[in-house]
Amino acid sequence: MKKNTKHNKREAGFFEKMAAKATTASGSTPAIIISFTLIMVWAVTGPFFNYSETWQLVINTGTTIITFLMVFLIQKAQNKDSVAVHLKLNELLAASDVSSNRLVDVEDLSEEELTVLRKYYARLKQKAKNENSLITSHSIDEHANSDRKS
């Protein structure tokens, strides 16, 4: 059975557009005003409903559903932004002659590998601090090569 990839891409594109619009709309001033207005209307109607359990259930259910959906919407937007930032940084690293290409896709390294890199950069920072020069630059490759020689 062959999957219809054109149809799946169209659905994904539609979902992407809707998620982007929802993210933009939910963070807008009108969304805040509408939310505040709804809360005020709910609070003002309390005496008319004798502050009943149903009256309380309306706000509890509404806020729970909205919160649940917003968590996933925000996470999706954050994931997309994170990927975009990583790609931009990778492009900068790849375009620079003096940077280390080892850092392209550094987000895929293990915690242990990141700890090793952090230690290298701490040594580079100390080396630069000891030289007290604004024009001298050091790279992680230079430091790694000096470790091999010693």
pLDDT tens string 90-149 = 888 888 777 777 777 788 888 998 898 888 888 888 887 887 776 666 666 665 555 555
Query: How many Å apart are CA 28 and CA 16, to the nearest integer?
Result: 19
pLDDT tens-digit profile of 25-62?
998 999 999 999 999 999 999 999 999 999 999 999 99
**Average pLDDT across the chain, whole number:** 84
What Cα–Cα distance (Å) separates residue 21 from each residue in 32, 41, 68, 91? Answer: 16, 26, 18, 28
Query: How many Å apart are CA 147 and CA 129, to the nearest integer?
Result: 19
What's the number of CA atoms in the CB half-sphere (13 Å) around residue 90? 11
